Chains A and B, each alone.
Chain A
Amino acid sequence: MERREVSFRIYRYNPQADRTPFYDNFRIAVEKGITILRALNHIKEQLEPRLTFRAFCQAGICGSCAVRINGVSRLACTTQVWDLLTGSGDGPILIEPLGNLEVIRDLVVDINPIMEKLKRNYSWVRPAIPEEEMGRKEHLVSDGEFETINAASDCILCGSCYSECSMMGVNRRYISPPVLLKAFRMNNDTRDTLGCERLREVTADNGLWDCTHCHRCTEHCTKKIPIMDGIHRLREEAFERGMTQSEGARHARAFYDDIRDLGRLKEVTLPLRTKGMLGSLKMLPLALRMGLKGRRPPLLVKRIPQIERVREIYSRLEANRGER
């Protein structure tokens, strides 16, 4: 077996002892085939018993050991040390706690906010079957119906998407990707009866419409779940259910209409259509500051020449939706 000395640079913070967080360096000999988690265990057992991290199943299914490795959120137990070394490189490999969550100690973060958000957003099935008839017979569910929620039910709540989400970075009250994914999973379960109430909660302030489509959740999902697809589907559902009066929905509608009519966005009237008169007035100072910096959207927006091709995309999308 190939062996090599590798350096690890690990985030440390013990609120009882340290005024500020710092980084600790460790250099250990590792064999090819060793995971980051095994390296952490080795450091804890041989060098620094106070090093603090979570780990449980060691098999990539419980989600406990998610940390940021070289800046990317992933599971320590399924990440090979060797994959992070280039050529004959020996690190250092940077290990930090998940982002967007409070650090309790070293690599351990407080995940209660995720639990609270799950609770607030009805992250469960409310079945149609009355309590006293439970267990008597199965719902009949087609394989297609199961497939719709199959990938979403892979979620292990490891928190990687929560840590990577760019919206979470600016607003801790944001609903967050795993909670949106759960809402998608529940709202597309044909046995559930809470769809409307759940969606109303999910589309409230700091909710569904605040997602910026950065796709980081999908990119960094440790179970390769297409989380963004679920978020898109929820937005479509909001329109289908006529939940079009929120700021977010109006904003999306304005984009939809402009692109269909002109092939480009009428930025000048966007605030008015999204936030209404009063809301737009509040944005005036921002608009002025933007103007001073040279950001002046055109007052008149001309239709693009190839508008027919844009409309063809629209009609194909509509046809697709009809099929579904």
Chain B
Amino acid sequence: MDHRYDIVIVGAGGGGLFAALEAVRTNPRVSVAVISKVYPTRSHTSAAQGGVNAALANKDKDDTVELHLFDTVKGSDYLADQDAVEYLCSQAPAVVRELENLGAPFSRFADGTIAQRPFGGTVKDRCCYCADKTGHTILHTLFEQCLRRGVTFFNEYFLLSLEHADGACQGVIALDMRTGAIETFVAPVVILATGGHAKMYWNRSSNAAGNTGDGQAAALRAGIPLKDMEFIQFHPTGLRKSGLLVTEGARGEGGYLLNRHGERFMARYAPQKMELGPRDLVARSMETEIIEGNGFESDAGSYLELDLRHLGAEAIRKKLPQIRELSMHFEGVDPVEEPIPVRPTAHYAMGGIDATMAKTAVRGVYAVGECACISVHGANRLGGNSLLDILVFGKLAGREAALEAPERNAHGITPAAVRRVADEIGSYTGHERYERYGIIREEMGKTMGDNVGIYRVEERLRKGVEELRALRERFRRIRLFDTGTVYNTNLIQILELKNMLDLALCVAVAALERQESRGSHYR
């Protein structure tokens, strides 16, 4: 089936939905389609708990856009594009108010204004929040407003290819997961908003299973440059099996980090602050312990322990109920009785599709949110700036797209291009193929964690690059066991793995090339 739209948005998280909403508000006559591999409310935006930064000055009356700008640039280890950061921070108050105006629930201060709380790396309390579900409520609000405006959704469509000709966007090719049909979406403007790629660390990632960088990989194959791929943010305490986050609060309340000798090893790394040292230092120390064999061994890999038992059942139940529930749900461990198995976990990708104020090198192709590198986070991102990033640049891209689309025409997508992707999918089922998805994916996650993790050493990075190259070679013989066309998740797994392998090699090579220590990248 062939579709024609003025604007096609790939990805229905906060960035994609705000872009869609802004596009139809800017020009109600442009036709907009949003395609997404998951139903919009299931996008990873929902997992952002903390909040969104904006210098509303509801809490600290002397907070300003300039202070927010400075915090962000400093946090980025001075690698951010400062013009882009200025736009991000100056738009923040209006975009948060606008969301509020559109019905997003926010926690409130006694005077009825949006509540703000402190967040790491900022000099003022400027993080606006809705309990611990800020991303979830923002995502639902934007989805509701898109329903209100009659935005067209193609849910459970998987991006296969981004098409352009003569330096101008022609549209995308996507797979309808429900039928298995390959469909073309011809459009002079495409906005990529496909989310991050930190799932390439697999079990050592806090990300959703689908954060596989589909937009980034499609852009890369279409010849659009990626930028700053070496910068991956790690969080010290992820759960061992799932990588899900145990928030800093657990250590704030006095939790101990222990190795398999029962030692509070942080005494050797940060004798003063112990477990409460800076996030990247704690993560690095934990990684060192694991590499040196001081971790506990398990099927799910080596880990350390976060021990809360000495705080007492009462304190754990009262002050850390979420963490207790999380450990019980996802590790089957009650922290009142047993230590929580943890290890550092990949959390966020600062790098992505090279974009200047959301515009990429190809005319008509935009990129926003975690899949993009507009370079507002530089070498390290501040908490509360990722939701802000998707809102501000999602909105900007939506508006620009609505102004640009009517003036441009897409010629179409060639049958040869469609044949190419169809042939590739067809080739996965050959009987001479024997490599298994699960094994290659497991090895990819392991080599990324072991060799391209927090602590980056030339020798190990070289090993990582080598192993990833070998895995990509093995991927050429991967076997698709499910030959059906209806909702073939085995096929989706393979397509996602291909995207992750391509991007993982980018991350590893970029990490090898950057010989300095900068932000999240520690050499």
Contact = CB atoms under 8 A, between A and B. Distances in A.
A complexed with B: yes
Contacts of B486: 14-16, 104-105
Contacts of B59: none
B137 A153 contact: yes
Contact of B38 (A56, A105, A125, A137): A56
Contacts, number: 178
Contacts of A46: 438
B128 to A, nearest CB: 10
A227 interface: no
B107 A139 contact: no
B158 to A, nearest CB: 13
A256 B46 CA distance: 42
A163 interface: no
Interface stretch (B456-464, B477-485, B509-517): B477-485
Nearest to A2: B332
B3 to A, nearest CB: 18
Interface stretch (A30-38, A231-239, A279-287): A30-38
A150 B131 contact: yes
Contacts of B94: 135-136
A56 B210 contact: yes
Interface string B433-457: 0001110000000000000000000
B481 A49 contact: yes
Main SS of the interface on chain A? loop
Given A45-B438, A50-B482, A104 B487 contact: yes
Given A1-B299, A156-B41, 14 more contacts: A33-B330, A33-B333, A52-B488, A57-B47, A58-B242, A80-B332, A115-B155, A126-B148, A127-B102, A131-B25, A141-B112, A149-B105, A156-B46, A192-B103
A206 B97 CA distance: 37
Contact of B144 (A63, A112, A123, A135): A123
A262 interface: no
B136 A61 contact: yes
Interface string A27-67: 00001111100100000111001101101111111111000
B409 interface: no
B303 to A, nearest CB: 11
A57 B25 CA distance: 31
Interface in B13-59: 25, 38-39, 41-44, 46-47, 56
B209 interface: yes
B143 to A, nearest CB: 9
B489 A52 contact: yes
B110 interface: yes
Contacts of B131: 150
A24 interface: no
A28 B223 CA distance: 45
